[in-house]
Structure formats: C-alpha cells, structure tokens
A and B are shown apart, each in its own frame.
Chain A
Amino acid sequence: DAGVIQSPRHEVTEMGQEVTLRCKPISGHNSLFWYRQTMMRGLELLIYFNNNVPIDDSGMPEDRFSAKMPNASFSTLKIQPSEPRDSAVYFCASNQKARPQAGELFFGEGSRLTVL
C-alpha cells in the first residue's frame, strides 16, 4: 500500500519566493497533520485537518503560512513570502481519528526546504 506521499522532497528557493508543499494522505485516513522539524525547535504541529476541515491551526507561525485541504486525498502548505527562518523539514502525516488508532500517525518522508 502507498504511504503518505509528499512533494517536493527537496526545495531550494530565494527569500521572498512562494513555496508550495504538497501531500497525499493514505487512502481512507480522515485526519491530516502538517509538522515542521528544525534542530532548534524540534517537531512542531502547524495545523491539522479532520474530514478536510481545519481543526487547529494554532501552530501556524504567521500569516505567511496557509494550508488547504480541498479534498480527502490532497493537501497543500503554502509559504508566501518565504524567509530564511522557514528553512526546515516539513512533514505531512495522516491517520484515522478513531479509537484506539488516534495518535498512530503515518508520516511522509518530508519536504526539506531551504530558503536562501
């Protein structure tokens, strides 16, 4: 079975440019999460969706970040304009929000973003 698929795997861009990261969750999973990983801050939850609806976006750093989930099989995380401090690995994860699977996240391989 295909796991969580993220693209691009690597992105190098210049400050001020728009960045769009994409995620395809596992079929049948109804929750999707975007995490950011840095050396300084570890793993941070940015936003999560349940049944395509954003439930908690309190981790989104600022207005430059936005996330959408237009359907059950696709989500995007957009940064506009990007800044060097946005450099990180961005992970998408999905799961079935039902006991006892809650918390049993399936992660993609991540998108490594470098903003110059």
Chain B
Amino acid sequence: AQSVTQLGSHVSVSEGALVLLRCNYSSSVPPYLFWYVQYPNQGLQLLLKYTTGATLVKGINGFEAEFKKSETSFHLTKPSAHMSDAAEYFCAVSGTGGTSYGKLTFGQGTILTVHP
C-alpha cells in the first residue's frame, strides 16, 4: 500500500520569499513521485516528477523537488515566490508494478498563498 502525507494544509509566504511545501510518502516498492498544481476551477497539472536517476528534479515555473529515500521525502521548493504561484499543490505517489503501476495516490493538498 502507498500513502502520501503533506505537512501543512496551508502555507503563506511573501512575494519573493522561499517556497517550501513538504511531502512524505510511504511505499513498499520504489516509488515514482509527482507534484501537481491546481488553480481555481481547473484540473490538476503536472509540475514535476521523479522516476529514476537524478534525485533533484526540476519542473515548470521554477519549481524543483528532491527525492530523499532515507527520509522518505519529496519536498517542493522555489527560491522566490511569485503572485501567480498561488494555488493548491498536491504530492502524489505511483507504484511501479502490478496493478499499482500508473495509479496515483494523492496527498491532501497544500494551499499556497502569496502576499504582496
């Protein structure tokens, strides 16, 4: 079984400040990990993903995340927040085999607010 825990349902930062959204996962197999973003009244869009290889992955809009197996974490960061980053962010884990392959389990989401 797989699960994802996002620490903090709401995060508030000032424009230009560092963004850090936390995600921890549980998986009995090597996971694929994802961050998705959801803007109001829209579906989810992929920000970035980790499958294999380099543990620091870069995504769209200046976001990046680092896979740390020892900490079972996949935190999302952005050096400088922009007003347009305000949205809800979801961490997700996918199995890599059997019926779990390609099937995503999402965290509860973190709403990011950016203040001027």
Query: Could you tell me if B44 and A42 are in contact, using CB atoms closer than 8 angstroms?
Result: no
**Alpha-carbon gap, A45 to B101, bound state (A):** 14
* Of A11-19, A63-71, A72-80, A90-98, the one touching chain B: A90-98
| Chain B, residue nearest A50 (CB) | B102
Contact of A104 with B90 at beta-carbon distance under 8 Å, contacts A93-B43, A97-B102 already known:
no
Tell me the total A-B contact number using a CB cutoff of 8 A.
62
Indicate whether A4 reaches chain B with its CB closer than 8 angstroms.
yes
* Of B12-20, B45-53, B62-70, B76-84, the one touching chain A: B45-53
Q: B72-116: which residues lie under 8 A (CB-CB) from chain A?
A: 90, 92, 94, 96, 99, 101-109
| Chain B, residue nearest A103 (CB) | B94
Q: A26-50: which residues lie under 8 A (CB-CB) from chain B?
A: 31, 33, 42-43, 45, 48, 50
Which size bracket describes the interface of B in this complex? 20 to 34
Contacts of A56 in B (CB 8 A): 99, 103
**Interface residue count on the A side (C-beta < 8 Å):** 25
Residues of A within 8 A of B (CB): 4, 31, 33, 42-43, 45, 48, 50, 55-56, 91, 93, 95, 97, 99-100, 102-110
In the complex, 9 of the A-B residue pairs with CB atoms within 8 angstroms, ordered by the A residue number, are A45-B104, A56-B99, A91-B44, A93-B44, A100-B51, A103-B34, A103-B102, A103-B104, A106-B46
Residues of B within 8 A of A (CB): 32, 34, 36, 41-46, 49, 51-52, 90, 92, 94, 96, 99, 101-109
